[in-house]
Structure 1
Amino acid sequence: MSSEAILTRRFSDHIERTGALLPAQREAVFSDAPLTLVGAGAGTGKTHTLAWRFVRCLLREGVRPRDILTLTFTEKAASEMAERIGALFAELRPVLDPDGSLLAATAAELQEATISTIHSFALAIVREEALFLPSGLSARAMTPPEADLFVRRCTDALDEMDMDWFRRALSSGRGLEALLGGGEQDLADVLNAYGAKGVAAFALALSDMLESRGGSPETLAESAEREDFIESVRERLESLLRAPAVSAADLWLGRVLPGLPSELPGGGAFKERTARLRSRWGGRRAGTP
């Protein structure tokens, strides 16, 4: 019997004997699927389950601690995860390897496991691969204060339509004119409609979404060149917005406007806007063009 089979059998027997894992947790720990997704809320034992799964992975033939990547969102969670894994391995080692012949090498290398936040791991990759990046050895992550300052400067430049600032800020090979595509007036119209802060906030949210999907501004620009791109976006937006729009129309056309007096008392901008709203929509029903 292979060492993996021996260790796995002892591991499984120990779980059965002690009841250390709930059925759903056991399923997650022993899953051999290429991707195992476990949905769990706060206080449901995620760290506990991950620690047991980590040890389970260590029992595989040829797997070393440095071969396993464990990522969290906070430094506190990463520290807790490392402590849990270390404590669990120390607890289970006498049970799984009584004579010390099977897990000695693993124990010696346990500190080499990568257990960190996503940001720390990404920064480590940047530093290790710095020679292959345009910024070279000077590559580093932008600090939160630097990011905030950049967003403020970008917002100010948008507010003043300072295109020279963007020309200086853009990296080589990514010219402003190429990005705008002759649509500087379109940018001005968008800024007039949503304001510089609104446009900057939208750009940041869009950047986060693109990154989460493995995309970039370049991939978005390439998509926009497709003939069916605008139509596909319109159809998607319509499918998302139709239901809440109809609900809002039902409220205003079915209850709010009919419930208002024919003539609002007083004056002012609110009365004028209400009059225009009633003039345009008062005779219609929700769902009608």
Structure 2
Amino acid sequence: MVPTKRSDIPADIPAMSFTRHLVHRASSFEGIMHGSATPVAQHFTLSMALPQQRPDFGGAPRSGLFHDMHLPLEALRRSALFVAHRYFRVPAERAAVFSSTDSEVTALAPWRRSGGPAQLTMELTFSPVDVVHGVPRGLECESTLRIEGSVCGTATARMEFLAPDTDHHGSTVELLEGSREMAFLLAAQLGGFSVGSCILSRWNARLESSAAPGLPASCTASSGALRREPDGRPALPLTLVFSQGPHRIGTVGAVVLQDC
């Protein structure tokens, strides 16, 4: 059985404000001396504090038990943009977008909120692709996530640099929040999950077109078979398709995990 749901979700969420520390781990003496504008992979370590409370994106169901991927993915995007301009000479007037994104929670315990501050560390690698005259048209972004020193997840993305006159709207975080809302609702309705103890253990997105600003996006969702992970926790896989009118914005694959 593959049920389908359709609903409207808000297109905009509040801007995310945070401070991050980014350290370049140059792989050669030349890179250390010159900050390398050579189109080769560059490595960084990012550290930042995770908020004690989850940002409120509206009245949608949300779990207060876990940190989620919103902040790590936005930190990855901002770091990729900085590195593109500083280390790969990508012109600032080129629009940048994550055309594909994949994230996974590999260990659940570090994601649980403890009631106090938690430190996120990300080991980042940015590899240039489609290099033309020494300037890449894209970056492959890879990261390993640690919370309080424990390896707990991965996040990868492909960043594309668009022509200066390209009009692009929408963000990965907006798509993540919209899919989280729909995924949790479906998990509650179809699997009897308790939203308060849910987390997106896997999430991947493929963007196909730009979203029009200020307009709601429609989400059509279908579920796979309810299953149990190796540790016995119930998990529900979902496929979500986001559109505005006849235009498809992107497709998301997600797995909702219930901590029980």
Pairwise same-fold verdict (TM > 0.5): no
Determine which structure has the larger strand proportion and give its number. 2
Higher relative contact order (CA 8 A, sep 6+): 2
Larger Rg belongs to: 1
Q: TM-score, normalized by length of structure 1?
A: 0.19
